[in-house]
Amino acid sequence: MPISLRLPTDIEDQIASFSARQGLSKSALIVRSIREFLARNAQPSSLQIYDEAMRGWADENIDAERAAAEQRPHKILVRDAIRQKYARRAARAVKPGTGK
Q: Does residue 15 have a pLDDT over 60?
A: yes
Closest to 33 measured CA to CA, from 77, 25, 92, 10: 25
| Per-residue pLDDT at 96 | 63
52 close to 45: Cβ distance less than 8 angstroms: no
List C-alpha distances in Å: 35 to 31, 38, 78: 6, 5, 62
Tell me the average pLDDT of the chain.
83
What does the pLDDT look like over 53-100, one tens digit per residue?
777 766 666 667 777 766 677 777 888 899 999 899 888 887 666 555
Mean pLDDT confidence for 20-31: 93
Confidence of residue 26 (pLDDT cuts 50, 70, 90): very high
Q: How many CA atoms lie within 13 A of 67 on its CB side?
A: 6
